[in-house]
């Protein structure tokens, strides 16, 4: 699937000229992603701001129309459906918006916000609607008294719970959660994640979970998709990806996770982080090559790497790999040499001039983690 935004309109054209990008092409927000979302699975999506996470999620639900590609749900192509047919399918495909405050109508009380999907898609009496509204609030751990309040009278966490309650009102099968815990206190994040996990078990939901927080993604996801400039860099089992990332970009993201102790050393190869390129003028070849510490020459600049499946089942888009390759062991760079925890080449004691164990002065034993 692809989603490109044109820069030819009057508004975007003026903005492009003001930013000095009058010759820029279309913004390639999502530039060819292909994946499966399995039943009752949580697929985490992570990447830097502007990599196409939210655009991909909204395109999957056709809230914005994809430029090309096919979106299939339960064997049916959603891209071929009319607006009326797509409206009927949306009761099974829901979205939790990134900003709960702006996604709730400020003029409607909570009970009216929750009644709206029931009125549009269910033939229920007013008493049955009231009963279901109370049940929805209880499922997201909100008191029923909340239903008579307006959104501005609720905290950020309560607003997000109302958004979740509205998303599950029609018992959907797929939910796209677009950064549902961003901006919330850590304790509130934990409660929201627990609520989502309980609801997923109850409804057998498939969840596409978009977030910036790698710790949250690792905690909640069965598999992880790493996006870079609208492309999938790495996709695989959550624990495998976080324990031993293979793509240089995934390694850079893992390196950016704050360490729990100031003396704990980084365990990944360093990278020239810098700013990601513009999606309207992406680099040729591999889009990550200007920032890549594992750059290997012209092939990186001239050819886009195809996704290949490694022996452990994950897919990686990098010129260092071919189909069926074993993952590079933790502690080795992609060139095959060992690295120290700071990313520098490890000393080979057998090499000429290298220090032997006998040459190293005695040191006091200590905990490497500090």
Contact in structure between 102 and 178 (CB atoms under 8 Å)? no
pLDDT band at 347 (very low <50, low <70, confident <90, very high): very low
Q: What is the pLDDT of residue 7?
A: 75
| CATH architecture type of domain 36-221 | 3-Layer(aba) Sandwich (3.40)
Any idea what DSSP says for residue 345? Answer: B
Per-residue pLDDT band at 63 (split at 50, 70, 90):
very high
Q: For residue 56, which phi and psi values (nearest 5 degrees)?
A: -65, -45
Most confident segment among 12-16, 122-126, 277-281: 122-126
For residue 223, report the phi and psi dihedrals to the nearest 5 degrees.
-130, 160
Beta carbons of 305 and 284 less than 8 angstroms apart: no
Give dist(CA 244, CA 159) in Å, integer: 37
- Which residues pair with residue 302 across a beta bridge? none
pLDDT at site 261? 64
**Domain boundaries of the chain, sorted by first residue:** 1-31, 36-221, 239-348
CA distances from residue 201 to 45, 164, 166, 319, 349 in whole angstroms, order as listed: 20, 15, 18, 39, 53
pLDDT band at 239 (very low <50, low <70, confident <90, very high): very high
Q: Give how far the C-alpha of residue 105 lies from the chain's centroid of Cα atoms, to the nearest Å.
A: 27
Residue 352 has pLDDT above 50, yes or no: no
Report which secondary-structure segment, H or E, holds 96. strand 93-96
Measured CA to CA, the distance from residue 24 to residue 161 in angstroms comes to: 41
Give mean pLDDT, residues 310-330: 94
Whose tokens are 């492009």? That residue is 16
Work out the average pLDDT over 215-241: 95
**pTM of structure:** 0.84
User: Average model confidence (pLDDT) for the chain?
Assistant: 84
Q: How far apart are CA 195 and CA 206, in angstroms?
A: 15
Q: What is the rounded average pLDDT of the residues 109-127?
A: 95
**Which residue would you say has higher pLDDT here, 273 or 206?**
206
Query: Which is nearest to 122 in space by CA: 73, 88, 149, 93?
Result: 88
Contact 334, 318 (CB under 8 A): yes
Give the pLDDT score at 275. 78
Rounded alpha-carbon distances, angstroms, from residue 232 to 15, 287, 304, 316: 28, 11, 12, 8
Q: Report the distance separating Cα 327 and Cα 343, nearest Å.
A: 18
CA–CA dist 226, 234 (Å, integer): 5
User: Is pLDDT larger for residue 353 or for residue 306?
Assistant: 306
Residue 249: its pLDDT value, please? 94
CA distance readout (Å), 298 to 34, 289, 320:
26, 10, 13
Task: Give the range among 50-64, 68-82, 162-176, 348-362 with minimum mean pLDDT.
Answer: 348-362
């Amino acid at each position: 699937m692809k989603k490109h935004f044109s820069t030819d309109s009057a508004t975007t054209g003026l903005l492009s000229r003001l930013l000095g990008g009058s010759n820029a092409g279309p913004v390639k927000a999502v530039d060819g992603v292909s994946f499966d979302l399995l039943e009752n699975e949580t697929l985490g999506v992570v990447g830097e701001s502007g990599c196409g996470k939210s655009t991909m999620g909204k395109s999957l639900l056709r809230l914005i129309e994809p430029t090309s590609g096919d979106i299939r749900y339960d064997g049916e192509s959603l891209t071929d459906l009319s607006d009326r047919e797509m409206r009927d399918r949306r009761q099974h495909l829901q979205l939790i918006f990134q900003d709960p405050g702006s996604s709730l109508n400020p003029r409607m009380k909570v009970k009216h916000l929750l009644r709206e999907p029931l009125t549009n898609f269910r033939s229920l009496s007013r008493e049955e609607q009231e009963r279901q509204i109370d049940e929805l609030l209880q499922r997201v751990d909100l008191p029923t008294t909340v239903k008579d309040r307006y959104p501005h009278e609720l905290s950020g966490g309560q607003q997000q719970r109302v958004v979740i309650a509205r998303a599950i009102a029609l018992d959907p099968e797929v939910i796209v959660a677009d950064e549902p815990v961003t901006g919330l206190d850590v304790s509130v994040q934990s409660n929201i994640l627990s609520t989502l996990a309980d609801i997923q078990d109850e409804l057998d939901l498939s969840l596409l979970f978009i977030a910036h927080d790698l710790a949250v993604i690792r905690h909640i996801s069965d598999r992880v998709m790493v996006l870079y400039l609208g492309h999938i860099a790495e996709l695989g089992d959550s624990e495998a990806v976080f324990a031993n990332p293979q793509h240089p970009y995934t390694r850079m993201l893992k390196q950016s996770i704050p360490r729990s102790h100031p003396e704990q050393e980084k365990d990944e190869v360093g990278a020239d982080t810098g700013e990601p390129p513009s999606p309207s003028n992406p680099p040729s070849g591999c889009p990550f090559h200007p920032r890549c510490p594992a750059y290997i020459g012209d092939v990186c600049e001239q050819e886009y790497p195809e996704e290949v499946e490694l022996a452990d089942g994950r897919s990686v888009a990098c010129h260092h790999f071919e189909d069926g390759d074993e993952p590079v062991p933790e502690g080795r760079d992609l060139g095959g040499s060992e690295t120290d925890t700071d990313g520098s080449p490890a000393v080979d004691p057998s090499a000429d001039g290298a220090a032997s164990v006998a040459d190293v002065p005695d040191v006091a034993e200590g905990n490497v983690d500090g």
